[in-house]
Amino acid sequence: MSNNKSIEFINELPNYANQYIDVCLNYVKEVATGSGKIVEQKERHIPTIAFFLNIWMPRNVGDTIARNTYYDWLNGKCELKKDTIKKIDDLFQSLAADIVANEGKGIFYAKNKLGWTDKMDSTLNLPIKILNLDPLDDSKDNLLIEDSSFKETD
């Protein structure tokens, strides 16, 4: 797994990514029905960079790049590498977002990789007045009343 890959390899990466996406889109699992019969059910998988690079590429292409190389290319100066990785990353995120949005699975992925959240930011900045009161001193009870027009009546 070298950082010095050929132009040919870099140009083929989008094709490999699309092949992997086809696998994610066409995955089927075996499920038991109520009657006990086993049937195949289509279930799209969320594509991940780690699986693509560490498992799918070596098994299907016979070559790969390290995950840190992938991100080095994404953030690097070589336009060919950067554009290639950016396109792949966009494809994976688009499919992941569609699966999460339409099938309700992968919420952990959505929160961590897509920046989704299920709660609102409720930061409230109010000044806090701190009073240094002696709880045994009754003479300072009136400090809490700020409205001078308030008068106690018997």
Task: Give the residue-averaged pLDDT of 80-104.
Answer: 90
pLDDT higher at 106 or 32: 32
Task: Give the residue-averaged pLDDT of 25-35.
Answer: 88
Residue 53 has a pLDDT of 97
Cross-strand bridge partners of residue 28: 42
Task: Give the residue-averaged pLDDT of 26-48.
Answer: 88
Task: Give the residue-averaged pLDDT of 96-107.
Answer: 76
pLDDT band at 1 (very low <50, low <70, confident <90, very high): very low
pTM above the 0.75 mark? no
Residue 39 has a pLDDT of 86
CA separation for the pair 6, 133 (Å, rounded) = 75
The answer to whether the CB of 7 falls within 8 A of the CB of 13 is no
pLDDT > 90: percent of the chain: 45
pLDDT > 70: percent of the chain: 66
Taking the CA atoms of 125, 129, 130 and 134 in sequence, report the sign of the dihedral they define: negative
Task: Give the residue-averaged pLDDT of 50-79.
Answer: 95
